Amino acid sequence: MISLVSLVHFVSSFIIPQHPENYEALSVLERIIIPSTGCLVLAVFWVLLRPKTQKVGIPYVVERLNYYQGNLPFSNALAQFIGAFIGLAAGLSIGKEGPAAHIGATFGSQLGQRFRLSFENIEVLVACGVTGAIAAAFQTPLAAMLFTFEVIFIRYSMSQVLPVLLSAVSATVLSQSILGHLEWFEVVSMDVPNFDLSLAMVCLVLVGLTVVFASLFFQVQKWLWRFSHWSIWYRFSIVALLTSLVGGLFPQVLGGGYDTINMVFSGGVLATSLFFIAFLKMLLTASSIGLGIPGGMIGPTFSIGGLLGLQVAVWFDTGLPVPIETALFVLLGMASMMAACFQAPLAALLAMLEMTHTSEVIFPAMFVIVLSCLLTKLLFKQDSVFIERLNYLGLSSVSSPMEKQLRSHIVEPVAHSAIVISNVVKFEQIKDFASNMIDYVYVSRSGQWYEIPVSELLSKMSALDFGPHPWLKPCDEVLGLSTDEMSAVLIVEIEEPDSLMKLRSIFKETSADKLLIDLKQSNQLCVVTRKRLDEFFLKEPSPNVVD
């Protein structure tokens, strides 16, 4: 996250004067050329990638957690970093927080895979990576932790709280030491008025605006998802055209958009209404993300909500018994938009507290956050934008209780030791197999494993009908086995899966009833059957499965 921000600021310092968000200082021609060039470079880079490497963002992280044991490839994270850097440096209306969350999650996943940790431990490391990235972006550690639980994992886990909180605090301290204290907008002081009926009515207007904007934000993306099969050149060209036209006329929509809020706070006057700027910002961000630009949407939604809150404060600044606190409504707009778009009420509330450092904002913040979440769900039947994206792709954002159980167990409880024999086995050993009620033994021939019934060995030994011949020494009483001559069944050998969920998917892929597994820690060869896996959780075996 810090590297991404520093790199974008470094490149922007050669293009944009004073500060990276000062697009108003550029000429109209420059505001047209820079986004167009950025989209062209991004399209060239994206075309060179393999289709599976083009999958990036928070929905991809959730998909890998639910379907691939938290295995996040490094190549996708690298593509996300480069793609987000190009888009942010070109002034596209995207955020850096989503890409940073993907990159942080990948580092956690790669670390867990490097040390061959279980899925539960990899999940903790992924949560730490996501939280650290968001905490470094906003410098709000508690809100980052709750955002991870509410949006990424969609559940709270007490076992993950301590490591995730440690990651959030460490990332915040590191971000402050390198980037300095991040001020989203400059506020000298803020007096929170008593929450009376008049203030509640103004908050209702704000909630209504943010809920409608959140619904439009999702609907525009959903409509554009149907064009995902279009060529990258077509889709990115549309983004270049829209950004150049809108950004050329209204530079406030380029980049993050926080400089517009700061300009109004410092006494600047806008020729265009804040409502119209917020509307254009919403359309441009939704179009960019919906057409596949590898950027985030967390930062832009904050900016849109802040602009709406500022507009409501300007509308109702006069005519009320108490003066409107502008900074308060900017923050309420941010919290309301975040709650409506991502269905993360606690994260939005904690973000308010950490930004203002005062508990006086709790009640008005709870009022707008709860209403925003409820109205979005009840009126528009809309969940988090990330969840809706997964649902559109036919993927589940949550795991069933059985899948969670499968992911939380290793293979060893359902495995039993495989009796390995050589190509030549003694009579006494065969008799021991029968007395110990061993049904199958396993032999390796030409690099492949075969399963042989012990009953076949006994039958073969009986057919020879050796009697007590005094000229035979004990070492001569051996039986030569041949997999070609006996009822030997080829059995698939696999490496030990990380969890029973992975084992279940291997059974589906191979259509096998038995698998031979080499356990990593004990270095022991074991057998797992489909029936045993079913019995372990379902207590009843699947039909038509032979052990």
pLDDT score recorded for residue 264: 62
Q: Name which of 356, 341, 353 is nearest 302 in CA terms.
A: 341
Which two three-digit tokens encode residue 427? 């009579």
Give tens-digit pLDDT for 238-261. Answer: 999 999 999 999 998 998 777 776
What distances in angstroms separate CA 92 from CA 101, 172, 228, 296, 298, one per listed residue?
A: 19, 26, 19, 11, 14
Report how far residue 130's alpha carbon sits from residue 149's, in angstroms, rounded to the nearest whole number.
10
* Helix residue spans in 180-297 (DSSP H): 197-225, 232-249, 258-265, 274-290
Question: Of the ranges 10-19, 475-484, 516-525, which one carries the lowest mean pLDDT score?
Answer: 475-484
Q: Is 321 exposed, middle or buried (CB count within 10 Å of its CB: 0-12, 13-18, 19+)?
A: exposed
Highest mean pLDDT among 269-278, 400-409, 514-523, 526-535 belongs to 526-535
Q: Name which of 347, 293, 322 is nearest 83 in CA terms.
A: 293
Q: What are the structural domains, with CATH classification, of the chain?
A: 2-392 (1.10.3080.10), 405-538 (3.10.580.10)
Highest mean pLDDT among 322-326, 427-431, 529-533 belongs to 529-533
CB < 8 Å & 24+ apart, contacts of 54-57: 54/79, 54/292, 54/294, 56/80, 56/83, 56/99, 56/102, 56/294, 57/98, 57/99, 57/102, 57/294, 57/296
Q: Average of pLDDT values for 95-108?
A: 94
HEC secondary structure over 273-310:
CHHHHHHHHHHHHHHHHHCCCCCECHHHHHHHHHHHHH
pLDDT score recorded for residue 485: 62
Contacts of 50 (CB under 8 A, 6+ apart): none
Q: Average of pLDDT values for 86-93?
A: 93
Neighbours of 488 (CB within 10 A): 19
Report how far residue 545's alpha carbon sits from residue 509's, in angstroms, rounded to the nearest whole number.
16
Biggest alpha carbon–alpha carbon distance for the chain: 118
Give tens-digit pLDDT for 163-206. Answer: 999 999 999 999 889 888 776 555 545 677 777 888 889 999 99
Report how far residue 544's alpha carbon sits from residue 542's, in angstroms, rounded to the nearest whole number.
7
Give tens-digit pLDDT for 428-479. Answer: 676 777 777 778 888 887 778 888 887 777 777 666 655 554 544 555 445 4
Helices (H) and strands (E) in the chain, counts: 22, 9
Q: Is the pLDDT at 70 greater than 60, yes or no?
A: yes
Give tens-digit pLDDT for 141-164. Answer: 999 999 999 999 888 888 889 999
Q: How many residues does the chain have?
A: 547
Report how far residue 352's alpha carbon sits from residue 371's, in angstroms, rounded to the nearest whole number.
16
> What are the backbone dihedrals phi and psi of residue 479, each rounded to the nearest 5 degrees, phi first?
-125, 125
3-class state of residue 13 by DSSP: coil
Contacts of 53 (CB under 8 A, 6+ apart): 73, 75, 76, 79
Q: Is the pLDDT at 423 greater than 80, yes or no?
A: no
Contacts of 386 (CB under 8 A, 6+ apart): 58, 59, 62, 151, 342, 397
Name residue, tokens 């892929």. 509
Name residue, tokens 């986004």. 35
pLDDT score recorded for residue 449: 85
Name residue, tokens 């042989």. 452
Q: What is the mean pLDDT of the chain?
A: 84
Q: Is the pLDDT at 542 greater than 50, yes or no?
A: no
pTM of the model: 0.81
pLDDT score recorded for residue 154: 84
- In this structure, the strands spanning 440-445 and 420-421 are parallel
Secondary element (H or E) of residue 10: helix 2-12
Name residue, tokens 């996040």. 72
Which two three-digit tokens encode residue 539? 């207590």
What DSSP assignment string belongs to 110-166? HHHHHTT--HHHHHHHHHHHHHHHHHHHHS-HHHHHHHIIIIIISS--HHHHHHHHH
What DSSP assignment string belongs to 367-413? HHHHHHHHHHHHHH----HHHHHHHHTT--SS--HHHHHHHT--SGG
pLDDT band at residue 265, thresholds of 50, 70 and 90?
low
Q: Is 24 exposed, middle or buried (CB count within 10 Å of its CB: 0-12, 13-18, 19+)?
A: middle
Helix 258-265 to helix 274-290 angle (10° resolution) is 170
Does residue 257 or residue 54 have the better pLDDT? 54
pLDDT score recorded for residue 501: 80
Report how far residue 264's alpha carbon sits from residue 281's, in angstroms, rounded to the nearest whole number.
17
pLDDT score recorded for residue 541: 44
